[in-house]
Structure 1
Amino acid sequence: MLNVKLIDGMFKESQEKGQEYLLFLDVDRLIAPCYEAASKEAKKPRYGGWESMEIAGHSIGHWLSAAAAMYRETNDDKLKEKLDYAIAELGRVQSFDEEGYVSGFSRACFDEVFTGEFRVEHFGLGGSWVPWYSIHKIYAGLIDAYQLTGSKEALEIVTKLSDWAYRGLSPLTEEQFQRMLIAEHGGMNDVMANMYLITGEEKYLELAKRFCHQAVLHPLTKGIDNLEGKHANTQIPKLIGAAKLYEITGEKSYRDMVEFFWNEVSHHRSYVIGGNSNREHFGPPDTEELGVLTNETCNTYNMLQLTEHLFNWTKDSSYMDYYERGLYNHILASQDPDSGMKTYFVSTEPGHFKVYCSPEESFWCCTGTGMENPARYTRFIYVQQEQDFYVNLFIASEVTLLDQETIIRQETIFPKSEKSSLVFKEASGQELNVHIRVPNWVTGNVELKLNGEVVNAPVDRGYVTINKAWAKGDRIEVLLPMSLHVYKAKDDRSKQAFLYGPVVLAGALGTENFPETDILADHLALNNHELIDVPALVTDGSVDQWLHPVEGKPLTFETDAIGQPGHVKVRFIPFYELHHERYSLYWKVATQEEYEKGVDEEKKKQEWIRAITVDEIQPGEQQPEIEHGIQSEHSQTGYLNKVHKSWRDCRDNGFFSYKMAVQPNKPMYLLVTYFGSDNTLHEDGNAYERDFTISVDGTVIANQILKSEKPEDIYLVCYDIPFNLTEGKEKVEVRFDAPAGQVAGGVYGIRMQNEAQ
């Protein structure tokens, strides 16, 4: 592994802020759920947010990975001391279980699974919330601690934990095992593959292969895109593990599924910043639906890992073009440079803003990966394979090559400058092929100089190459001409974003009607915060005719007075620099004729709906349901491609319920979305009528019968809620009940409103 250190610049500053947060966190509070899961008294209270829920313990795993990587970057003795303490504490908790189990929640769910007869749904297993997903973070953290810092104790703990899993899962048939994988399970195939590489034990390779979810992976080997409606970040780790298995086994099917998946996600399901997903799920291909809950940050963290594998197989610069876009415009942009807090989603809703976790009361999945990101900035700046050395990213840094004798320093303030220099601080005359990436955003010819002399080198797979026996003091200078360019959304060419080189530019829109804080525990709390009017850009000129650099302010641009209505000017800055104010990434761009003809009635309607919405849930989606306190019996979920929505129903004395916010001093209305073709359900040899009740805090407010009223489309039903059921309350329980022999739903959406619709 190359030894790379950041020198200065924005990545170095972001790394230092991330390091501060790792040192701030209290290991005893992170490990508290592990003690409680072992029925022991914790040394300190656990943290809030997700660490107070069944997913508890995932954060200590992320922290281990982050701390190990950050120590390797910084040699911070205080961080190493905390890391060693955390590992020792996990070892102590593990000693309480004779079989080697350690996690932040009871092992009862796994004990149920190991019987072969277990409850399972997309985000639940054995009655617990995604237990394999959560414990996977502890596996990964311990493995990282061993591989990055040499901790033998970490290896001992993760080996015992791996053996516990192997013993428990061995009796399961393949049918039972694959049924278990219906529930989100993180990258369990990846960590077991890593255990095989570390120990050489075949049992771990066997388990890695068994953890491959065939219902998702097998179609990908055939080039079948079945991703719509699937929880995006559930799938990406499965492919990271598949990539590792290809490298171990050489089996082509693994590579086929990885390459097809990567292409579908990066080219057909990603936004301009390199992120993907809306409301955590993949939508139809070649759509870029804008919204508050787009671009889950975990997804890009994982997509960059997957991209690393693909680059290593091919050395094709197109993979680094994607990597660079995601790193600069999503990962770097996801950490608040002031507080060090992290984003969950990155909104594409015009006029919205970033929302960050709180220091002690959030611990979302993206808080966890967000801990790791600042220590990962150096990972793929350079790659060396024997005598081939690849310069992939233009980031101020210093690298010691594998021979431990050659040291190269990259001096640059990119992207504020088009120039970068590679200086051989130490070299002993060894021959090396230096491959320098020519990005896809370069405008014109790349200029390359070696010790002041121009070098003419052909471009091969996106790289120019200089070969020589390198001496101390040798200097390569590279000029990468950049310019403004336009990104047009895949589903609407008038929906546009603007970049300068690889940098996505955001329109900075100020703090009009801004929330009191954008750092908070509940990331849902500001979903319906009032928006502002965002102008359309009315022009028929090319972008360089109306968007101009601001003198003396690198990477800052301003439009002519083309914003309508009002002939306003808009200031654009790099998205990674924009924090604590409103912004737009995507803009409606129209000619004067198009603008004058266009009356955006749909936009007006959406603004009205947003204004009257108090709370909303998308049934069948993990996070909204968990955070609305889902309770259910005899209930199931699914996704209907025809309407691009997930749903939930229940049957035969079953129910499902949510806790929903209300306004205590206003009448409330419940708006429920149904599918117009739903009628009698024939299943298991029985006919189930869709005849059910809806109640609020135990009082029935409606009886609903679905009789295929509006075939092949969704429709809305608005129910009045008696004022006495919500008066003086902040939340109520909304419940759907199916009597014996009946079905409630499917329900495709639920919204609490303060006006009827």
Structure 2
Amino acid sequence: MSIGRRTFLKTGATLPLAALPAAARAMTAALPAKAKALPLSAVRLRPSDFAHAVEVNRAYLLRLEPDRLLHNFHTFAGLPPKAKVYGGWESDTIAGHTLGHYLSGLALTHAQIGCDDCARRAAYIIDELAACQTRNGDGYVAGFTRKRKDGKVVDGKEIFPEIMRGDIRSAGFDLNGCWVPFYNWHKLYTGLFDVIDHIGPNPGAMAIAIGLGAYIERVFAALDDEQVQTVLACEHGGLNESFAELHARTGDPRWLKLAERIYHKKVLTPLSEKRDELANIHANTQVPKLIGLARLYEITGNPAHGAAARFFWEQVTRHHSYVIGGNADREYFTAPDTIAQHITEQTCEHCNTYNMLKLTRQLYSWQPDGALFDYYERAHLNHVMAQQEPVNGGFTYMTPLMTGAKREYSAMDGEEFWCCVGTGMESHAKHGESIFWEGGDTLIVNLYIPADARWAARDAKVGLATAWPFEGEATLSFDALGKPGTFPVALRVPGYAASADLFVNGKPVTAARAGGYAIVERRWKKGDTVTIRLPLDLRLEATPGDGRTVAVLRGPLVLAGDLGRADGAWDRPDPAMVGTDLIARFRPVAMDKAQYETDGLVRPGDLSFVPFYRQHDRRSAVYFKRFTAAEWQVEEAAFLKEQARQKDLAARSVDVMHLGEMQPERDHQLTSDISYPVSYRGRSGRDARSGGFFEFTMAVKPGPLILQATYWGDERQRSFDILIDNQRIATQSLEADRPGQFFDVDYPLPEGLTRGKKQVKVRVVPHDRNSAGPVFGMRLFTAKPATTPAPTA
């Protein structure tokens, strides 16, 4: 994703002021060397979609029952639970992770709107956690579980004596039968620190953090460096950040030592050497590691830590991100600049963007640069704001960008508790956290969200009036200024803005420009205002690596073609844009809502375009292939040819199995073990993991038959067998050798396998330490008769 005409720290190092020309030094001097955001508690949002999101989220948080989230903590400490456990992930082996997010959500909401109910709930949870830790007697406190080989679910604490003996079994997310325990603790630590920072000093929270740290320290002390790396192969969140932060708060060097030891070499070393090896690794697993590394850089000054964080941010935002600012497909990074090949219903996990925005804030605090907030604004507005269902407060896991896909939100009753439910609780509690910043004596406006704020350094109350992003004007007012005087005010000029006009007290002024900002320095007094006017032009933006696949933006807003209600079906061809001057074919309809219509541009028919983030109950088209008129004729011909092929195949079909769909699987008597339904790119399918299988019946008829299976061509390496009535007919390997496409494999069946039968059993079995599939459907059809050459004269 392009972030505009500016670039950020290309070399990973700051250019010394002495190396700049004199004129440039004068301009740069007006921008502070470092910055920090005004406290969240100092900011109050004015009415807007952002303020509405905070209020909907507050209501959601208060519907949840703390004692249900505490169920496992109580139970495993030997205390009677006060309520039944929640369902979803809270009843699975990732149980307990939500409580940390919930503490953060409560604390942030208290800071953002002054919610006393939230503060009381947080205090209650801290007291209950302290009681659990005291009962355990060794610092341990957790709610996660362990699934034994016999299927019994027990206290997750059981794995740590095994690990300390060197019996370590990590499979990416599973550690000795426990799902991401260190990730789980990272969320708890963040919640404890957020309570302290946003509600107030809490000795109980610090005592829990130190006591738990001692337990974790003992686990790592029993391991050599190689064993530590084996443990870190399991997702561990930003546990390095947790102990860096504990060191910063206590001054105890033991926590810094532990934080430095939690360094996952396989991922972090290439990044510190500026090598992008992100393809095919789980995306959100990595981002918190870099946040932790950035925190260590702030504490230690180790330049390799800072360089890795900067390089990672650059690569992800420029080469691995979609137009809405999110990243990853099916939770994994793909090769750089291949976004156009991965526009699916499994794009843009919210946790990834939540963490990328955290990292962006860290980098910005080191060296203010408007390009960082060009990305922040885009991702915050178009992805985070799209992630919440704005009526009842559910959350998306993925935010799909595939044409016609609908958003799936978590249930209102809170019985799913995905990871993105947890980060959603936090994201929508703090929409005011990055609007106003200060550095030295400079007040900085980074986001144009209507709000009021207290600026303690100047004993000031400032207001920001704006209808951004629907109107391109914002006015900053000094409603109170206890310490008037001369100081700079810096207003961000986004990279996509071709111009910026500034007015002080209604009169035009010439502002200095530096680092992506218009800077006005003068003697300010109570009642003064400064207004910025920015053009919000329509533009097309190509995906990185593919200029033929484009999205439509207006200022910071991603616009989407409106394809109708989400509860309706979408089974039409993907719309495309045909012509030369494409932007000229857009006609404004309601500028105050950023709504447009096209005229003769889109095939097969014109569309209305609206802000993507507001499409919570609608289907959308975000990405479009663009063609000239001549190219479109060729495209249409190819489409008609494929339709004819599909029609012929349907006519010869004997039976079709739609794997991953409930009713077809029932109709075909599917049985399975360690096998799961999947959905990808609009197709349902099923996989089986090592030790598992899936099997189902299919109808047959006399004569030569072909079994056809459909696969995705970009799967990571795996191999498996296909059997008919327990006789192996094929061994299939998938090796990511057909990127960007589904493909079919035909398996001709020996007639002896089907002769005299009305149905057969198809069984799919993975090889040891492999997965089978996913298989996106199977079809049995008759072979075409052999063509007999015509006799010659």
Same fold (TM over 0.5): yes
1:302 alignment counterpart:
355
RMSD: 3.6
1:323 deviates by 0.4
Instruction: Provide, for residues 644-678 of structure 1, a one-character-per-residue CA deviation record: whole Å limited to 9, x for no partner.
Output: xxx9999xxxx432679x799999978486999x9
1:503 deviates by 0.3
1:711 deviates by 12
The one-letter code of the counterpart of 2:253 is E
In the alignment, is the contact (CA less than 8 A) between 1:695 and 1:736 conserved in 2?
Answer: no
1:702 alignment counterpart:
728
| 1:579-594 correspondence runs (5 A) | 579-594=616-631
1:491 deviates by 3.4
1:149 alignment counterpart:
199
Q: Distance in 2 between matches of 1:335 and 1:593?
A: 42
Structure 1 unaligned spans of 5+: 516-529, 618-627, 633-646, 682-689, 739-743
1:502 alignment counterpart:
556
Could you tell me which of 311, 325, 333 is aligned with 1:274? 325
Give aligned pairs, total: 688
Please say if 1:223 is aligned against 2:265.
Answer: no
The one-letter code of the counterpart of 1:751 is F
1:433 alignment counterpart:
488
2:166 alignment counterpart:
116
| 1:465-480 correspondence runs (5 A) | 465-480=519-534
1:399 deviates by 1.6
1:341 deviates by 0.7
| 1:72-151 correspondence runs (5 A) | 72-105=111-144, 106-150=156-200, 151=202
In the alignment, is the contact (CA less than 8 A) between 1:511 and 1:582 conserved in 2?
Answer: yes
1:710 deviates by 11
Please say if 1:736 is aligned against 2:766.
Answer: yes
The one-letter code of the counterpart of 1:614 is H
In the alignment, is the contact (CA less than 8 A) between 2:410 and 2:416 conserved in 1?
Answer: yes
1:195 alignment counterpart:
246
Instruction: Provide, for residues 478-518 of structure 1, a one-character-per-residue CA deviation record: whole Å limited to 9, x for no partner.
Output: 11111101111223322111000000001111037627xxx
1:69 deviates by 0.6
| 1:286-297 correspondence runs (5 A) | 286-288=337-339, 289-297=342-350
Q: Distance in 1 between matches of 2:553 and 2:675?
A: 45
In the alignment, is the contact (CA less than 8 A) between 1:673 and 1:747 conserved in 2?
Answer: no
Q: 1:553 to 1:85 in 2, by over 3 A?
A: same
| 1:633-652 correspondence runs (5 A) | none
Please say if 1:285 is aligned against 2:339.
Answer: no
Instruction: Provide, for residues 20-61 of structure 1, a one-character-per-residue CA deviation record: whole Å limited to 9, x for no partner.
Output: 111111111111122233354421111111111000111111
Q: Distance in 2 between matches of 1:274 and 1:192?
A: 29
Q: 1:263 to 1:335 in 2, by over 3 A?
A: same
Q: 1:426 to 1:29 in 2, by over 3 A?
A: same
Please say if 1:328 is aligned against 2:381.
Answer: yes
The one-letter code of the counterpart of 1:4 is V
1:392 deviates by 0.5
Q: Distance in 2 between matches of 1:675 and 1:503?
A: 33
1:247 alignment counterpart:
298
Most deviating of 147-156 and 457-466: 147-156
The one-letter code of the counterpart of 2:175 is L
Q: 1:404 to 1:69 in 2, by over 3 A?
A: farther
The one-letter code of the counterpart of 2:71 is A
SS at match of 1:107: helix
The one-letter code of the counterpart of 1:354 is R
In the alignment, is the contact (CA less than 8 A) between 2:699 and 2:759 conserved in 1?
Answer: no
1:352 alignment counterpart:
405
Q: 1:424 to 1:604 in 2, by over 3 A?
A: farther
Q: Distance in 2 between matches of 1:603 and 1:511?
A: 28
Q: Distance in 2 between matches of 1:463 and 1:339?
A: 38
The one-letter code of the counterpart of 1:149 is I
SS at match of 1:327: helix
SS at match of 1:121: coil
In the alignment, is the contact (CA less than 8 A) between 1:353 and 1:580 conserved in 2?
Answer: yes
Please say if 1:21 is aligned against 2:60.
Answer: yes
1:466 deviates by 1.6
Most deviating of 38-47 and 14-23: 38-47
1:606 deviates by 12
SS at match of 2:51: helix
Q: Distance in 1 between matches of 2:183 and 2:549?
A: 36
Please say if 1:52 is aligned against 2:91.
Answer: yes
| 1:441-590 correspondence runs (5 A) | 441-443=496-498, 445-511=499-565, 514=568, 531-543=571-583, 545-551=584-590, 553-565=592-604, 568-590=605-627
In the alignment, is the contact (CA less than 8 A) between 2:471 and 2:536 conserved in 1?
Answer: no
2:691 alignment counterpart:
656
Could you tell me which of 160, 165, 168 is aligned with 2:219? 168
Which protein has greater RCO, CA pairs closer than 8 Å, 6+ apart? 2
Q: 1:553 to 1:405 in 2, by over 3 A?
A: closer
The one-letter code of the counterpart of 1:591 is T
1:637 alignment counterpart:
none
Most deviating of 180-189 and 399-408: 399-408
The one-letter code of the counterpart of 1:36 is T
Most deviating of 546-555 and 416-425: 546-555
1:753 deviates by 3.7
Q: Distance in 2 between matches of 1:447 and 1:130?
A: 51
SS at match of 1:120: coil
1:603 deviates by 8.0
Q: 1:477 to 1:549 in 2, by over 3 A?
A: same
2:231 alignment counterpart:
180
Q: Distance in 1 between matches of 2:469 and 2:297?
A: 36
1:581 deviates by 1.6
Q: Distance in 1 between matches of 2:59 and 2:446?
A: 28
Q: 1:13 to 1:388 in 2, by over 3 A?
A: same
1:341 alignment counterpart:
394
Q: 1:141 to 1:513 in 2, by over 3 A?
A: closer
Q: 1:245 to 1:725 in 2, by over 3 A?
A: farther
Instruction: Provide, for residues 511-546 of structure 1, a one-character-per-residue CA deviation record: whole Å limited to 9, x for no partner.
Output: 37627xxxxxxxxxxxxxx64333222222231x11
SS at match of 1:346: coil
Instruction: Provide, for residues 105-153 of structure 1, a one-character-per-residue CA deviation record: whole Å limited to 9, x for no partner.
Output: 2211233222222111211112211111122211111111112212222
Most deviating of 205-214 and 530-539: 530-539
Q: 1:616 to 1:111 in 2, by over 3 A?
A: farther
Q: Distance in 2 between matches of 1:388 and 1:239?
A: 29
Most deviating of 463-472 and 43-52: 463-472
SS at match of 2:552: strand
In the alignment, is the contact (CA less than 8 A) between 2:446 and 2:491 conserved in 1?
Answer: yes
Please say if 1:403 is aligned against 2:457.
Answer: yes
1:456 deviates by 0.5
SS at match of 2:456: coil
Could you tell me which of 610, 614, 617 is aligned with 2:658? 614
Q: 1:383 to 1:612 in 2, by over 3 A?
A: farther
Could you tell me which of 387, 395, 408 is aligned with 2:441? 387
1:403 deviates by 2.4
Q: Distance in 1 between matches of 2:644 and 2:423?
A: 37
Q: 1:745 to 1:53 in 2, by over 3 A?
A: closer
Q: 1:513 to 1:466 in 2, by over 3 A?
A: closer
Q: Distance in 1 between matches of 2:549 and 2:324?
A: 14
Please, what TM-score do these two structures have when normalized by structure 1? 0.83
Could you tell me which of 257, 270, 276 is aligned with 1:206? 257
Q: 1:463 to 1:674 in 2, by over 3 A?
A: closer
Q: Distance in 1 between matches of 2:390 and 2:656?
A: 34
1:198 deviates by 0.9
Instruction: Provide, for residues 302-346 of structure 1, a one-character-per-residue CA deviation record: whole Å limited to 9, x for no partner.
Output: 000011111111211000000000000000111111121111111
SS at match of 1:362: coil
Q: Distance in 1 between matches of 2:758 and 2:117?
A: 57
Q: 1:368 to 1:396 in 2, by over 3 A?
A: same
Structure 2 unaligned spans of 5+: 1-37, 145-155, 662-671, 677-685, 783-793
Q: Distance in 2 between matches of 1:409 and 1:629?
A: 60
Q: Distance in 2 between matches of 1:215 and 1:710?
A: 22
